[in-house]
Amino acid sequence: MKTPKTLFLLEIIENMAESTSKSVLVLHGPNLNLLGLREPNHYGKNTLADIDSLLAKRAKEANISLQSFQSNSEVELIQKLHSLADKKVDFIIINPAAFTHTSVALRDALSAIKVPFVEVHLSNIYARETFRHHSYFSDIAVGVISGLGAQGYLLALDYAIQTIAD
Ligand code: DQA
């Protein structure tokens, strides 16, 4: 039987495990909140909540902490990256969405915080309009996954898990 004292000790142990466990941040850029409704021919039928829950499940199995954050605002995405200065994050998975092709500011924020990241795109940006062929992120990313749909996020997470394992 778990006495109050045992429960208290269990809580301390859980908190210690949490504070020492590795952590991954998933950043989703503008319009990705519309996944499921938005151009399913390019982006598939999964909603963002579906993708985030697949990622959360995989992270839990691997005993790492995972946080997902979506914003339509460049400012909020940059501020999220700046906030990592005081919170330890070991790896970032980012789909900058349309900011891929426009945002020097978001690129600079990633360079500044020096956390390794994989760039993910649901669609194959190289098989689409030429303005999508240029990314401000690919040359500073550890790698790029483009065109594998929601699976791309899971592959990026598997890579992150292997890379940050002790
Ligand atoms: C995208 C591709 C971008 O060109 C587009 O602006 C997006 C989504 C993708 O996941 O395929 O919003 O990043």
Write down the pLDDT at residue 30: 98
* pLDDT per residue of the chain (166 residues) written in tens, 0 to 9: 566 666 565 565 455 545 568 999 999 999 999 999 989 888 989 999 999 999 999 999 999 999 999 999 999 999 999 999 777 899 999 999 999 999 999 999 999 999 999 999 999 999 999 999 999 999 999 999 999 999 999 999 999 999 999 6
Tell me which residue has its CA closest to atom 2 in ligand 1: 97
What is the residue extent of each domain of the chain? Answer: 22-27+59-166
**Strand partners of residue 143:** 118
Write down the pLDDT at residue 85: 77
Instruction: Provide the token pair at 130.
Output: 């030429």
Write down the pLDDT at residue 5: 66
Ligand 1 pocket mutation, candidates 35, 41, 121, 134, criterion most atoms within 8 A of CB? 121
Give yes or no: 121 in active site: yes
Write down the pLDDT at residue 130: 98
Tell me which residue has its CA closest to atom 6 in ligand 1: 98
Tell me which residue has its CA closest to atom 7 in ligand 1: 97
The angle subtended at Cα 130 by Cα 124 and Cα 135, nearest 5°, is 65
Residues 6+ apart with CB under 8 A from 77: 27, 29, 69, 71, 96, 99, 106, 109
Give yes or no: 159 in active site: no
22-27+59-166 topology per CATH:
Rossmann fold (3.40.50)
